[in-house]
Amino acid sequence: MQNSYALFLGVGAALGLWRVAQAAAPDEALRRVDGALWVLVGALAGARLGFVFSHSAYFQAHPVEIIMLPAGGLSAPGALLVGLGAGLWTAQRGRWALRPWLDDLARLAFPLAAAALLGAWLHGAGAGAAAGWGLPAPDELGVTARRVPAQLLAALLLGLLTAAGERWVRPGARAAWTALALGLSLLLAEGLRAQPDWSWLGLTLDTWTAVILILTGGLGTLVLARRKWNPSEWEGGPQT
């Protein structure tokens, strides 16, 4: 991982933590940020382990490089899976209502995902296909050419969808909408990619992840939008 890409992730994480703190009650802000930090640690570990898994043949021959984070190699599916697991653990540990906590994690996820997409675009990770109308950008080998700005377009889509979801106030609705937005953005970035990564049944791991996010996020959004809202949900009522 190049230093500037790490800086992008750091800025995205900091903005996400700030959003979590801003949304929390003053007497809960520190605990919420602490929980979000654990989620970030889990997401980073999962991102690395996911990359190692998807390139297992290489890392079996070079096991020492598994822990060499500066060399690069992170996986969005791994980050989401382990990050979500860490989020569920922190909710249980803190005895927090699940849906509002997932909404907090959605506030964390947006700037972090947007920063990751922009950093990947500037450093050629998952570079878009060559196109005469595209923007100058490097590929994984550092070769600069006019390419489809796949990650930039995905980040813009994510930003627009997230802004559209700011009106959601019902517990869990922000989380469901953010999952849908992440899935659509990831699908766009993967669809415009020049060289798809490791695949299973003809679809890349990122594509499978995007499909799962779209289905779960879309279903969750529809269910919560159709259900009659009881404001007492904010007062510690059933929220699972």
pLDDT, mean of each 10-residue run, the chain (240 residues): 77 96 93 96 92 83 76 84 96 93 96 93 83 86 88 95 86 94 94 69 83 96 77 46
**What's the pLDDT score for residue 188?**
93
**What's the pLDDT score for residue 81?**
94
Quick one: tokens of 38? 């654990």
**What's the pLDDT score for residue 15?**
97
Question: Residue 63: inside a domain, yes or no?
Answer: yes
List, for residues 117-127, the tens digit of each pLDDT value.
Answer: 998 888 888 78
**What's the pLDDT score for residue 1?**
47
Taking a C-beta distance cutoff of 8 angstroms, is the pair 111, 19 a contact?
Answer: yes
d(CA 237, CA 240): 9
Question: Residue 238: inside a domain, yes or no?
Answer: no
**What's the pLDDT score for residue 45?**
92
**What's the pLDDT score for residue 103?**
96
Question: Residue 126: inside a domain, yes or no?
Answer: yes
The tally of CA atoms less than 13 A away on the side-chain side of residue 136 is 1
**What's the pLDDT score for residue 235?**
43
List, for residues 70-125, the tens digit of each pLDDT value.
Answer: 666 888 999 999 999 999 999 999 999 999 999 999 999 999 999 999 988 888 88
Q: Is the dihedral of CA 130, 131, 132, 138 positive or negative?
A: negative
**What's the pLDDT score for residue 239?**
47
Q: Which residue has the tokens 């790490």?
A: 6
Three-state secondary-structure class, residue 144: strand
Question: Residue 240: inside a domain, yes or no?
Answer: no
**What's the pLDDT score for residue 98?**
94
Question: Residue 159: inside a domain, yes or no?
Answer: yes
Question: Residue 101: inside a domain, yes or no?
Answer: yes
Question: Residue 68: inside a domain, yes or no?
Answer: yes
**What's the pLDDT score for residue 72?**
67
Q: Which range of residues forms the domain containing residue 147?
A: 4-233
**What's the pLDDT score for residue 237?**
41
Question: Residue 239: inside a domain, yes or no?
Answer: no
Number of domains the chain is built from:
1
Cα dihedral 128→129→133→139 (10° resolution): 60
Write the secondary structure of the chain as one string of H (helix), E (strand) and C (coil): CCHHHHHHHHHHHHHHHHHHHHHCCCCCHHHHHHHHHHHHHHHHHHHHHHHHHHCHHHHHHCHHHHHCHHHCCCCHHHHHHHHHHHHHHHHHHHCCCHHHHHHHHHHHHHHHHHHHHHHHHHHCCCCECEEEEEEEEECCCCCEEEECCHHHHHHHHHHHHHHHHHHCCCCCHHHHHHHHHHHHHHHHHHHCECCCCCEECCEEHHHHHHHHHHHHHHHHHHHHHHCCCCHHHHHCCCCC
CB atoms within 10 A of CB 195: 9
